Chain A
Amino acid sequence: MSDKDVLTGEHFIHGDAACAEGGLAAGCRFFAGYPITPATEVAERMARRLPQVGGVYIQMEDEIASMAAILGASWGGVKSMTSTSGPGFSLMMENIGLGMMTETPCVVVNIQRGGPSTGLPTLVGQADVMQARWGSHGDYGCIALAPCSPQECFDLTIHAFNLSEIYRQPVFVMADEVVAHMTERVVIPPREKIHIVGRKKPTGNPGDYLPFDSAGPLPAPMAVAGDGFHVHVTGLTHDERGYPVITDVVQERNVRHLVDKIRDNAHKIISVEETALEDADVVLIAYGCTARVARQVVEDLREKGLKVGLVRLITIWPFPSDLIRRLADRVKAFVVPEINYGQMAYEVERAAAGKAETVLFGVMGGSVHTPEEIEDLVMEYL
């Protein structure tokens, strides 16, 4: 059975299918989902594939249930994931907060479409990136990855699982409709070439175990029910043992830990692709399908001898503030094409801190930028 989880070889599949295969290769054995365009194909593939590897697919009654079920499965001791799109992502928000508060590893794939509300069910958007960061109430750290190809849908879903195990929290794969419905070559490497982070179990005396220890740079290993350790999981403010302590003192420790475990390790988590930055006067900041267009822009303008570079965000959260800050000292402008009315552009502007101009090129959804229109805008700042 187990040889079917990693389909080593070359495939011609879309991004949704690649997300599902990435999950399976990472060891995901539980998927709870609810049909929603343009993410349904992830669930459909999981419905067929999970029984082949001894896993379980459940179709839930809504996205609230999907998110809650994957938290439950994770605490049952199994790697778990779900997939959705805008309206479903909104419904998941309360339980995403529960996952953050209870430090529960799992992966949420959001295939972004045009919003708000029902918006453009079948067409592309990138307007959930701030929701991924701030969507559930309260403070917490966020890890979100933005694949720009079906291959990256596979690779980054595995990476998301690894990060979720290391930092013990839900991790988002923030794909978009174009990347998810695009069919391209996807290479699935041999099993031994795929880096998988397994779930660390506590060792030692159960009396000394602190399941929500906040002392170290990383969260404690995660015991689940039946491992011989006390397991008390709550969305209430809790101490290191996991028991509710409803005081400002413990709240201070609890929340700082949830934020700092990502903030303090951001340099290890952040991943970007840098193109032609060394002498660039204008730098494009792009992610997801928009980054593919931005690559073309850099190629076209460099051929004309114009000094244009690209920072492709692979992690959108945490955001590479230090890199932008350094670049801001020497570039004239950042141009941010994104399929929303300005979301990551604010983050770029914040990091640039007025040292270089930040120029948003937003389209509201349903189409991607053309290289030519971005090139015209870039030329204004060269």
Chain B
Amino acid sequence: MNPTMDPAKELMSPGHLACAGCGAAPAMRWALEALGPRTIVVMPACCWSIICGPYPHSALRVPTFHTAFETGAVTAAGIRASLDMQGLQDINVMVWAGDGGTFDIGFQALSAAAERNDDIIFVCYDNEAYMNTGIQRSSATPAGAWTTTTPGGKIRPKKNLVEIMAAHRIPYAATASIAFPDDFISKMTKAKGIKGTRFFHVLATCPTGWRIPSSHTVKLARLAVYSRAFPLYEVEDGERYTITVHPRDLPLRDYLEPQGRFRGLTKDQIEGLQEEVDRTWNRLTRLAGWSS
């Protein structure tokens, strides 16, 4: 089911500067649909610094603060504190960061904000590499993926950031997907009603960096969930795990093969990655007390 959205009330306008098929664009639409107009967006350096657009392409109808690459979470913490002391508790402060500004350079600030339980929503739209500078690996790049700085394919797997954030005992951490807007929006709506640090890990398909046709954005995002490469779940108070979308039993191969960035993988390597996905999935179902 897709949400019914009123174009006249949408907080992200058309005419933005995302690449054709960018998954990070619908991600912003779903997030703002849930949060509404009383939202301030804080953005460290990322693709969205560009997508947001120079005049006259500016695509956000909510106040936006572009901050330094390493300080998304803590700029938001400062905004939150100043709003609170003015009695403006109803305003959402949402950090909107890429994987670099979350997993790598932004991680220290994010971890510090989470430890203090700063009252912010931090969304990582993860396109799994530094796409804005031309496809360099990040610690969110999955094993096996080609980037310009992993020309032979990345060796190590990506960090499990939701578990890292859950380990901070924050009230809410979740994954979300552009291919499942109803799940996305209901999670964001739920998060809006919670006080404290709320963390979202959104898989944002990137046709440019993943080497896929721009028309396959949603399809690949869906395959990531159905193959369990990117399961959709939430963690409350660091301990209550809930799987929110039932994956299908698709082999990981179905998700990897359409992507040019995995073209160099051998059959054995794909089997190895499948085993890793199975292990992670089994761990998640154990934590969620879930049986299919």
Q: Which residues of A contact B (CB under 8 A)?
A: 34-37, 40, 43-44, 47-48, 57, 59, 61-62, 87, 91, 117-118
Contact = CB atoms under 8 A, between A and B. Distances in A.
A59 B49 contact: no
A59 B70 contact: no
A-B interface, 10 closest residue pairs, ranked by CB to CB distance from nearest = A62-B105, A35-B133, A61-B104, A47-B149, A35-B136, A35-B130, A44-B148, A40-B133, A59-B149, A48-B151
B148 A118 contact: no
A36 B66 CA distance: 17
A43 B136 contact: yes
Contact of A57 (B66, B70, B149): B149
Contacts of A40: 133-134, 136
Contacts of A59: 136-137, 149
Contacts of B49: 118
30 contacts: A34-B105, A35-B134, A35-B149, A36-B133, A37-B133, A40-B133, A40-B134, A43-B136, A43-B149, A44-B134, A44-B148, A47-B148, A47-B149, A47-B150, A47-B151, A48-B151, A57-B149, A59-B136, A59-B137, A59-B149, A61-B105, A62-B69, A62-B70, A62-B104, A87-B68, A87-B69, A91-B70, A117-B68, A118-B66, A118-B68
A118 B133 CA distance: 13
A153 to B, nearest CB: 19
Contacts of A61: 104-105, 107, 139
A131 to B, nearest CB: 16
Contacts of A44: 134, 136, 148-149
Contacts of B149: 35, 43-44, 47, 57, 59
B108 to A, nearest CB: 9
B206 to A, nearest CB: 15
B121 interface: no
Contacts of A37: 133
Interface residues of B, number: 20
Tell me the dominant secondary structure on chain B's binding face: loop
A35 B104 CA distance: 12
B188 interface: no
Interface in B118-141: 130, 133-134, 136-137, 139
Contacts of B70: 62, 91
Given A47-B150, A47-B151, A59-B149, 12 more contacts: A36-B133, A40-B133, A43-B149, A44-B134, A44-B149, A47-B148, A61-B105, A61-B107, A87-B45, A87-B68, A118-B49, A118-B66
A47 B147 CA distance: 10
Nearest to B129: A35
B138 to A, nearest CB: 8
B68 to A, nearest CB: 7
Contacts of B100: 35
Contacts of A62: 69-70, 104-105
Contacts of B139: 61
B36 to A, nearest CB: 28
A118 B54 CA distance: 13
B241 to A, nearest CB: 27
Nearest to B107: A61
Nearest to A59: B149
A198 B100 CA distance: 37
Interface centre among B69, B104, B133 (most CB of A within 10 A): B133
Contacts of B69: 62, 87
Nearest to A43: B149
Contacts of A57: 149
B210 to A, nearest CB: 17
A61 B110 CA distance: 14
Nearest to A45: B148
A118 B69 CA distance: 9
Contacts of B134: 35, 40, 44
B103 to A, nearest CB: 8
A61 B139 CA distance: 8
B232 to A, nearest CB: 27
A118 B45 contact: yes
Nearest to B134: A40
Nearest to A41: B134
Nearest to A118: B45
A40 B137 CA distance: 12
Nearest to B150: A47
